[in-house]
């Protein structure tokens, strides 16, 4: 069943709106929201790479970045995601 709060959500999969806070070496460099179907490592890696690119930065330095993930409906950080590559 689709998420009623997400316009255009697919009927076959659940979608969730998350807020992402991108930091490089501890300093915030961007914020964005995205619709996700899961918080798997692959999805988070893709979101981190996209966030770096959207901030006008070079993705080759991805190991210097971290990304806070929180559901839009709450103020709690679900996780902080980092990857060495």
Q: Which residues lie below 8 Å from residue 46, measured CB to CB, with a gap of 6+?
A: none
- Alpha helix (H) ranges present in the chain? 41-54
Residues forming beta bridges with residue 24, ordered by sequence position: 27, 65
User: What are 6-56's pLDDT values in tens digits?
Assistant: 444 444 479 999 999 999 999 999 999 999 999 999 999 999 999 999 999
Buried/exposed 39-75: b ≥16 CB within 10 Å, e otherwise? eeeeebeebbeebbeeeebeeeebeebbbbbeeeeee
pTM as predicted: 0.79
């Amino acid at each position: 069943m689709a998420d009623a709060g997400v316009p255009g959500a697919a009927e076959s999969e659940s979608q969730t709106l998350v807020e992402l806070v991108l930091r490089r070496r501890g300093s915030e460099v961007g914020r964005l929201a995205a619709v996700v179907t899961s918080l798997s490592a692959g999805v988070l890696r893709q979101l981190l790479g996209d966030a770096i690119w959207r901030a006008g930065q070079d993705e080759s330095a991805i190991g210097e970045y971290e990304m806070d993930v929180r559901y839009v409906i709450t103020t709690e950080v679900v996780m902080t995601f980092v990857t060495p590559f």
